[in-house]
Structure 1
């Protein structure tokens, strides 16, 4: 054998070894590798890409996918974007997009592609690398959600300080002023003059107590300390008790309170939370109803839900105000028809408590005609057993 023959044989051996090494890299690469035609068919895929796309074998994938644009890309326009960038630059790197798996689920991938051209610059195929970045995307989404939650918590903190600084200070300042009036000598025996002062003081105290109660409930809910302890509740009794609480305020404004809640309407609920929901909706309705108006509480059972409504003939709301009604920081609170202060916290608390019951809270309103709040609470089956017994004991 001549020296040249030995050299050729050695070169052939080295070349074959390099080809074997490349094939081994293709088969065992931890990321997806493929070649595809310009019209959108795969020519070759490695096992990593087969696994990432959820197929049993390379043969199965090659037979199943005949149009990469519609069967691989979740958005067919993505391939058009890739083709435009390839035409302009000949390659792309780290292009992030979503791809379909065989089972219909989506994965996020980072795509790097180059164009392989033959003689005369004729495009022959595309060669690409696919890296599954779903875990990274999910982590980014989780971080984004955590940041949003943090912003909400910061807004809630600011709102609490605002409530304490303004909405508690205002009635307490009024109480202080009323107290000074009471101790003045020329008012000591004039009960006709003292009576309206006491009435106003009592209203201020009631406003403070309701606000403090809402703040306490809300704080415990945010900390996860407020749990829904459901038991049997007679809705008519709960509504009647809260109507009695609101009656004095309603009489002062000449607002009529009516109940159309039928007797014997039972549901499983946390009685304390149910009290808070109804009380806040009632006082809210009275606050925004003008003298001579009416506030009506209704309830009915629809299949597995009880629908409670609190309807007023008050000033109503426009669509924009209605849209942000239950979102903290978005629900602008306006003074009542008699100048009553408000924070919007009561409605946010109602939303939280209704959600803990797996129910729904919404409102319908027409400016100048009034507002109706609806609460849908699951009955969780007819009251009976221990729940019925506990209700009988309360009776």
Structure 2
């Protein structure tokens, strides 16, 4: 009985050992499987992270705007291709930098100030600013910056930059076009006013005088004919001058850069202009004195300069009473030539003088012999003087005559 009991105990022990070994195998297998699962999980997670990062970069790189992420010190952590292209730099030259050192000196402070404000307040900032990129090219950009705080409390700036240079240039061009359109409308209104009133009136005078001549011939009053012919000639001369001004000015509006500069002898030029005006002056018994001028030449546009002088002399005759005088002086002063057309006419107040050269405010006044005019000649003078690189102004007092002055550069 004892032997059998002993045998059973040994058998039980072997059986327990076998069971323990089996359990150990299972434990080892389970542990191995757990490691394999963890390894597979890690590999899957890495793959997902890599694919996610690639996917994110692909999206960012296909965006038209420049995108960036900065840390609390404004150092760039992430940028897309558009950002690199805008700054003309590679990622390795961008990442870790603030880029403040790569912008113009006057832009640095603003460049970092907005970053600091966004990080501090958390308020999104949208701002238009200029950016001088490598090579000195200046662009106009619209920048949007927002704050992001991660789970660990770290603050970041997420932003996007849009190049709006083309749009801004288009806006400026549109504003220029609007301004030019307003000027053209003023020009059109002025032309219609002149054509509708100032040109029609002298032609009516000529017709009236022609009828008076016919009556004088029929009535045998030959002595009146000389007076009527003189008036017709004066009216025709002033009307022709106005028409020439209109044609010259209209051409100048179409081609604002049309200058033909040559070396001009001032004395010869003045003699020609004064000869043109002489009949008008003689009719009103006004003396045109010999010009005061140095022997000098100027490099300028002959037609424009003649137009300026002709208009100033015509204006002087118009507002000078019978028995008065007009004289022209020209003086050389360093690199400019100063012209002065003086008269002993009726003069004007300061308020009127300020309006003379502006097409919008200049109002025509009748001359001392009731001559008609448009006021257009002085507007044309100002435009031509400025086109030739000079400046024009008037000095006058009521009842004491006027001095119209302008200067032109000698050689430019």
TM-score tier (shorter): 0.7 to 0.9
- Give me the whole-angstrom Cα distance separating, in 1, the residues matched to 2:189 and 2:211: 32
* Other-structure match for 2:378: 347
Could you give the per-residue CA deviations for residues 202-221 of structure 1, whole angstroms, max 9, x where no partner exists? 22212211111112222333
- In the alignment, structure 1 segments of 5+ residues that lack a partner are 381-395
Deviation at 1:338, TM superposition (A): 3.8
Q: Which residue of 2 aligns with 1:113?
A: 145
Structure 2 residue 339 is matched with structure 1 residue 311:
no
Identify the match of residue 228 of structure 2 among 197, 201, 219. 197
Aligned: 1:364 with 2:394: yes
Give the TM-score, by structure 1 length.
0.76
- CA displacement at 1:111 relative to structure 2: 1.9
Which residue does the alignment assign to 1:32? 66
| Aligned partners of 2:357 and 2:379 also within 8 Å | yes
Q: Does residue 124 of structure 2 align to residue 91 of structure 1?
A: yes
Out of 103, 107, 118, the residue aligned to residue 71 of structure 1 is 107
- Residue in structure 2 matched with residue 393 of structure 1 by the alignment: none
Aligned to 2:7: none
Aligned partners of 1:12 and 1:171: how far apart in 2? Answer: 95
Please state how far the C-alpha of 1:363 moved relative to its aligned partner.
0.9
Structure 2 Cα separation of the partners of residues 226 and 77 of structure 1: 41
* Structure 2 unaligned blocks of 5 or more: 1-32
Q: Does 1:22 align with 2:56?
A: yes
Following TM superposition, by how much is the alpha carbon of 1:158 offset from its aligned partner in structure 2, in angstroms? 2.9
Return closer, same or farther for 1:45/1:332 CA change in 2, 3 Å cut-off: farther
Partner of 2:264: 233
Find the aligned partners of 1:77 and 1:186 in 2 and give their Cα distance: 89
Question: Is 2:327 the partner of 1:296?
Answer: yes
Aligned residues of 2:312 and 2:404 also touching (Cα < 8 A): no
Deviations 1:177-227 (A, max 9, x none): 222222225973334544443333222212211111112222333344995
Q: How far apart are 1:134 and its partner, in Å?
A: 0.6
Q: Distance in 1 between matches of 2:143 and 2:225?
A: 81
Cα 1:164–1:112 change in 2 (3 A) is same
Taking the aligned partners of 2:236 and 2:357, their CA distance within structure 1 comes to 26
Distance change in 2, residues 1:171/1:101 (3 Å): same
Q: What is the deviation of 1:18? A: 1.2
CA contact 2:316–2:342 (8 Å) conserved in 1: yes
| Count of residues paired in the alignment | 372
Separation of aligned partners in 1, 2:247 and 2:404: 26
Separation of aligned partners in 2, 1:343 and 1:190: 35
Cα shift at 1:21? 3.6
Map 1:245-256 → 2, pairs under 5 A: 245-256=276-287
Query: Match of 2:4?
Result: none
Structure 1 counterpart SS, 2:233: helix
Contact 1:44 1:62 in 2 (8 A): no
In structure 1, what is the Cα distance between the partners aligned to 2:128 and 2:160? 12
Distance in 2 (alpha carbons) for counterparts of 1:140 and 1:361: 31
45 and 346 in structure 1: CA distance in 2 versus 1, 3 angstrom threshold = farther
- The verdict on how the C-alpha distance between 1:268 and 1:64 changes in structure 2, with shifts beyond 3 A counting, is closer
**Normalised by the size of structure 2, how large is the TM-score?**
0.73
Instruction: Report the secondary structure of 2:228's partner residue.
Output: helix
Q: 2:164: which partner in 1?
A: 133
| Bigger radius of gyration | 2
Contact 1:187 1:193 in 2 (8 A): no
Of residues 240, 246, 269 in structure 2, which corresponds to 1:209?
240
Correspondences of 1:36-75 after superposition (within 5 Å): 36=70, 41-44=74-77, 46=79, 48-49=82-83, 51-53=85-87, 57-58=93-94, 62=98, 64-65=100-101, 71-72=107-108
**Pairwise CA RMSD:** 4.1
Where in structure 2 are the equivalents of 1:145-224 lying within 5 Å? 145-184=176-215, 188-224=219-255
